[in-house]
Amino acid sequence: MLERTTDADLLARARAGDDRAFAALVERYESAVAATAVGMLGPGDDADDVGQEAFIRFHHSLDHFRGESSLKTYLVHIAMNLSLNALRRRRRSVLRFVSRDETPIESAEPSAGPDGHVDAEELRVLVRRAVSQLNEKHRAVVVLRMFDDCSTRDAARILGIPEGTVLSRLSRAMKEMEALLAPYVDSGAAVRETIR
């Protein structure tokens, strides 16, 4: 029933203390926040913590959200800031414990089938690995523009950089990814429909 309710209605109900309305918002925007957190940090507890924290902060600021940006952009903004903080903490940590977060799930090389095609899921894993190999600045732009489908303007606003910088970073990031994924791009075009 709540699936068809508008964001504005759900927000009003969540502000009034309706937990079901807030849960509906969490389910509605989980994918956007997951794309940001998992895209930046890789799958695992770190990304899950960032996702939870993003929604907790959103809940605390329900009364302050005025709708100047879309709810998705607002949540992605929070998730991106938290992800960048988590990456800084990772860098600072002297003792690095081997955890699920640091074990790249993309460790397996994709295995091509007899016809030379790569399985859709393996290809997706390969693309995420390529994204994780980008430096932090380039990765943030790719995550916002490609994974979250943000506009250049929104990406610039979220990262606090000029739009031109977003475009140049995106261009460089795509070139790096092209070098990494060149053998699979044709295959990717072929399996795009399968993935979707």
User: Which residue's CB is nearer to other proteins, number 77 or number 177?
Assistant: 177
Give 65-87 as a 3 state SS string: CCCCCCHHHHHHHHHHHHHHHHH
Q: Cβ of residue 34: shortest distance to other proteins, in angstroms?
A: 5
CB of 66 to other proteins, least distance (A): 22
The nearer residue to other proteins, 12 or 163, going by C-beta atoms, is: 163
Among 83, 78, 181, smallest CA distance to 131 is for 181
Return the H-helix or E-strand segment holding 112.
Answer: none
Residue in the structure block whose two tokens are 């502000």: 15
Give the whole-angstrom CA distance, residue 57 versus residue 78.
8
C-beta closer to other proteins: residue 16 or 94: 16
Considering the complex, what minimum distance in angstroms separates the CB of residue 181 from other proteins?
Answer: 6
Report how far residue 196's alpha carbon sits from residue 191's, in angstroms, rounded to the nearest whole number: 9
Which residues of the chain form contacts with other proteins (CB under 8 A)? 19, 22-23, 26-27, 30-31, 34-35, 37-39, 43, 47-48, 51-52, 55-56, 59, 123-124, 127-128, 131, 142, 145-149, 151-152, 163-164, 167, 170-171, 174, 177-178, 181, 184-186, 188-189, 192, 195-196
User: Among residues 92 and 111, whose Cβ is nearest to other proteins?
Assistant: 111
Helix (H/G/I), strand (E/B), else coil: 117: coil
CB of 94 to other proteins, least distance (A): 28
Question: Least Å distance between CB 95 and other proteins?
Answer: 26
Q: Which of 59, 54, 58, 63 is nearest to 81 (CA)?
A: 54
Residue 10 or 148: which CB sits closer to other proteins?
A: 148
CA angle (74 as vertex; 106, 131 as ends), nearest 5: 20
